[in-house]
Protein backbone atom coordinates (compact mmCIF):
# COMPACT_ATOMS: atom_id res chain seq x y z
CA UNK A 1 0.00 0.00 0.00
CA UNK A 2 2.85 2.39 0.82
CA UNK A 3 4.47 1.46 -2.48
CA UNK A 4 1.28 2.28 -4.41
CA UNK A 5 0.91 5.67 -2.69
CA UNK A 6 4.54 6.50 -3.41
CA UNK A 7 4.20 5.51 -7.06
CA UNK A 8 1.06 7.56 -7.47
CA UNK A 9 2.55 10.63 -5.79
CA UNK A 10 5.61 10.38 -8.04
CA UNK A 11 3.55 10.29 -11.23
CA UNK A 12 3.37 6.59 -12.12
CA UNK A 13 0.32 6.28 -14.36
CA UNK A 14 -0.10 2.57 -13.65
CA UNK A 15 -0.55 3.47 -9.98
CA UNK A 16 -3.63 5.54 -10.83
CA UNK A 17 -4.92 2.61 -12.82
CA UNK A 18 -4.39 0.25 -9.92
CA UNK A 19 -6.14 2.67 -7.58
CA UNK A 20 -9.02 2.84 -10.07
CA UNK A 21 -9.24 -0.93 -10.33
CA UNK A 22 -9.28 -1.30 -6.56
CA UNK A 23 -11.46 1.58 -5.44
CA UNK A 24 -13.63 2.87 -8.29
CA UNK A 25 -16.49 0.60 -7.21
CA UNK A 26 -16.28 1.92 -3.66
CA UNK A 27 -16.32 5.52 -4.89
CA UNK A 28 -19.13 4.84 -7.36
CA UNK A 29 -21.27 3.08 -4.76
CA UNK A 30 -20.88 5.96 -2.30
CA UNK A 31 -21.68 8.49 -5.02
CA UNK A 32 -24.68 6.55 -6.31
CA UNK A 33 -26.08 6.05 -2.81
CA UNK A 34 -25.70 9.74 -2.02
CA UNK A 35 -26.91 11.14 -5.34
CA UNK A 36 -29.48 8.51 -6.24
CA UNK A 37 -28.34 8.32 -9.84
CA UNK A 38 -25.87 6.10 -11.68
CA UNK A 39 -25.19 8.79 -14.28
CA UNK A 40 -24.34 11.35 -11.60
CA UNK A 41 -22.25 8.73 -9.83
CA UNK A 42 -20.33 8.16 -13.08
CA UNK A 43 -19.58 11.89 -13.35
CA UNK A 44 -18.39 12.05 -9.75
CA UNK A 45 -16.26 8.90 -10.04
CA UNK A 46 -14.52 10.23 -13.12
CA UNK A 47 -13.94 13.59 -11.43
CA UNK A 48 -12.53 11.91 -8.32
CA UNK A 49 -9.82 9.97 -10.16
CA UNK A 50 -8.94 12.91 -12.37
CA UNK A 51 -8.69 15.15 -9.31
CA UNK A 52 -6.64 12.48 -7.56
CA UNK A 53 -4.12 12.48 -10.38
CA UNK A 54 -3.97 16.27 -10.59
CA UNK A 55 -3.38 16.63 -6.86
CA UNK A 56 -1.17 13.56 -6.52
CA UNK A 57 1.77 15.49 -5.09
CA UNK A 58 -0.32 16.29 -2.01
CA UNK A 59 -0.65 12.58 -1.19
CA UNK A 60 1.62 11.50 1.62
CA UNK A 61 2.77 7.90 1.15
CA UNK A 62 1.78 5.85 4.19
CA UNK A 63 0.10 2.52 4.64
CA UNK A 64 -3.50 3.54 5.28
CA UNK A 65 -3.47 6.94 3.55
CA UNK A 66 -4.43 6.19 -0.02
CA UNK A 67 -8.02 4.94 0.17
CA UNK A 68 -8.81 7.55 2.84
CA UNK A 69 -7.35 10.25 0.63
CA UNK A 70 -9.50 9.10 -2.31
CA UNK A 71 -12.59 9.03 -0.13
CA UNK A 72 -11.82 12.58 1.01
CA UNK A 73 -11.84 13.71 -2.60
CA UNK A 74 -15.04 11.72 -3.22
CA UNK A 75 -16.73 13.32 -0.22
CA UNK A 76 -15.86 16.76 -1.54
CA UNK A 77 -17.10 16.05 -5.07
CA UNK A 78 -20.34 14.48 -3.82
CA UNK A 79 -21.06 17.33 -1.42
CA UNK A 80 -20.37 19.76 -4.24
CA UNK A 81 -22.78 17.95 -6.57
CA UNK A 82 -25.50 18.04 -3.92
CA UNK A 83 -24.92 21.75 -3.29
CA UNK A 84 -25.13 22.44 -7.02
CA UNK A 85 -28.55 20.80 -7.13
CA UNK A 86 -29.75 23.03 -4.31
CA UNK A 87 -28.39 26.14 -6.04
CA UNK A 88 -30.32 25.62 -9.27
CA UNK A 89 -33.54 25.94 -7.32
CA UNK A 90 -32.61 29.24 -5.72
CA UNK A 91 -32.92 32.72 -7.17
CA UNK A 92 -29.54 33.98 -5.95
CA UNK A 93 -27.30 31.63 -7.95
CA UNK A 94 -24.28 33.81 -7.51
CA UNK A 95 -24.31 33.28 -3.76
CA UNK A 96 -21.68 30.82 -2.54
CA UNK A 97 -23.66 28.50 -0.33
CA UNK A 98 -22.06 26.30 2.27
CA UNK A 99 -23.25 22.73 2.32
CA UNK A 100 -26.41 22.64 4.41
CA UNK A 101 -26.43 20.49 7.56
CA UNK A 102 -28.83 18.10 5.80
CA UNK A 103 -26.36 17.56 2.98
CA UNK A 104 -23.49 16.98 5.39
CA UNK A 105 -25.50 14.50 7.46
CA UNK A 106 -26.68 12.68 4.35
CA UNK A 107 -23.16 12.31 2.93
CA UNK A 108 -21.79 11.17 6.31
CA UNK A 109 -24.54 8.57 6.63
CA UNK A 110 -23.83 7.21 3.17
CA UNK A 111 -20.09 7.08 3.86
CA UNK A 112 -20.68 5.13 7.06
CA UNK A 113 -23.02 2.65 5.37
CA UNK A 114 -20.77 1.87 2.45
CA UNK A 115 -17.52 1.85 4.40
CA UNK A 116 -18.98 -0.49 7.05
CA UNK A 117 -20.32 -2.85 4.41
CA UNK A 118 -16.88 -2.84 2.76
CA UNK A 119 -15.17 -3.43 6.12
CA UNK A 120 -17.37 -6.43 6.92
CA UNK A 121 -16.55 -7.97 3.57
CA UNK A 122 -12.83 -7.36 3.95
CA UNK A 123 -12.84 -8.96 7.40
CA UNK A 124 -13.97 -12.17 5.73
CA UNK A 125 -15.33 -15.10 7.65
CA UNK A 126 -15.79 -15.76 10.47
CA UNK A 127 -14.88 -12.36 11.89
CA UNK A 128 -17.35 -10.41 9.75
CA UNK A 129 -19.99 -13.02 10.42
CA UNK A 130 -19.39 -12.85 14.19
CA UNK A 131 -19.84 -9.06 14.18
CA UNK A 132 -23.06 -9.43 12.21
CA UNK A 133 -24.45 -12.14 14.46
CA UNK A 134 -23.56 -10.42 17.74
CA UNK A 135 -24.53 -6.84 16.91
CA UNK A 136 -27.04 -7.02 14.10
CA UNK A 137 -28.78 -10.25 15.03
CA UNK A 138 -28.33 -9.71 18.79
CA UNK A 139 -27.04 -13.22 19.46
CA UNK A 140 -25.00 -13.94 22.58
CA UNK A 141 -21.40 -15.10 22.32
CA UNK A 142 -22.50 -18.56 23.49
CA UNK A 143 -25.05 -18.89 20.72
CA UNK A 144 -22.55 -17.65 18.13
CA UNK A 145 -19.90 -20.06 19.42
CA UNK A 146 -22.33 -22.97 19.06
CA UNK A 147 -23.77 -21.95 15.69
CA UNK A 148 -20.39 -21.36 14.07
CA UNK A 149 -18.68 -24.23 15.87
CA UNK A 150 -15.83 -22.09 17.16
CA UNK A 151 -14.59 -21.73 20.75
CA UNK A 152 -16.16 -19.03 22.94
CA UNK A 153 -12.75 -17.40 23.46
CA UNK A 154 -12.33 -17.11 19.70
CA UNK A 155 -15.73 -15.45 19.39
CA UNK A 156 -14.76 -12.89 22.02
CA UNK A 157 -11.48 -12.26 20.25
CA UNK A 158 -13.22 -11.71 16.92
CA UNK A 159 -15.65 -9.30 18.55
CA UNK A 160 -12.90 -7.32 20.23
CA UNK A 161 -10.67 -7.10 17.17
CA UNK A 162 -13.60 -6.52 14.83
CA UNK A 163 -14.81 -3.59 16.95
CA UNK A 164 -11.27 -2.20 17.03
CA UNK A 165 -11.16 -2.31 13.27
CA UNK A 166 -14.54 -0.58 13.01
CA UNK A 167 -13.40 2.07 15.47
CA UNK A 168 -10.28 2.72 13.38
CA UNK A 169 -12.40 3.00 10.27
CA UNK A 170 -14.83 5.43 11.90
CA UNK A 171 -11.91 7.55 13.09
CA UNK A 172 -10.58 7.66 9.54
CA UNK A 173 -13.98 8.55 8.09
CA UNK A 174 -14.38 11.32 10.68
CA UNK A 175 -11.03 12.78 9.76
CA UNK A 176 -11.71 12.91 6.01
CA UNK A 177 -11.06 16.35 4.62
CA UNK A 178 -13.93 17.43 2.39
Partner 1 sequence: MPEIYDNQSMDDVIERFRRSSSTPVEWSAPSPGMWDRITKELAFSPPAAPETSAPAPQGSAPANPGRRALFFGAGGLVVGAALGVAGFRFAGSVADVRDAAVKRAVLTPLDKADEKLGIAELRPEKVGYTLVVDVPKGVTHTGGYVQVWLINVDGKRMISVGIFTAGTAGDFFIDDALIDAGYLIVDLSNEEFDDEPRHSGDTIMRGELRA
Q: Which is nearer to partner 1, 43 or 80 (CB)?
A: 43
Check residue 116 for interaction with partner 1 (CB under 8 A).
Answer: yes
Count the Cβ atoms, other than its own, within 10 Å of residue 19.
Answer: 23
Measured on CA atoms in the order 55, 60, 66, 69, is the torsion positive or negative? negative
Long-range contacts of 48-52 (CB under 8 A, 24+ apart): 48/73, 48/74, 48/77, 49/16, 49/19, 49/20, 49/24, 51/77, 52/8, 52/16, 52/19
Binding marks (x or -) toward partner 1, 70..109, rule CB under 8 A? Answer: ---------------------------------------x
Check residue 125 for interaction with partner 1 (CB under 8 A).
Answer: yes
The SS3 call for residue 73 is helix
Which of 60, 85, 167, 177 forms a contact with partner 1 (CB under 8 A)?
Answer: 167
The SS3 call for residue 61 is coil
Interacting residues with partner 1 between 1 and 40 (CB under 8 A): 1-3, 6-7, 10, 12-18, 20-22, 24-25, 28-29, 32-33, 38
Residues interacting with partner 1, by CB under 8 A?
1-3, 6-7, 10, 12-18, 20-22, 24-25, 28-29, 32-33, 38, 41-42, 45-46, 49-50, 53, 61, 63, 109, 112-117, 122-127, 131-132, 134-136, 138, 140-141, 158-159, 161-163, 165-167, 170
Amino acid sequence: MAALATRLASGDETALHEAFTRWSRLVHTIARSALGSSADADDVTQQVFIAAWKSRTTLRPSDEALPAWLLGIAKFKITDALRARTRTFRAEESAKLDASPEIITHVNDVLDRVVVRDALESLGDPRGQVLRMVFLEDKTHDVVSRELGIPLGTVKSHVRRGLEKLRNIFEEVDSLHA
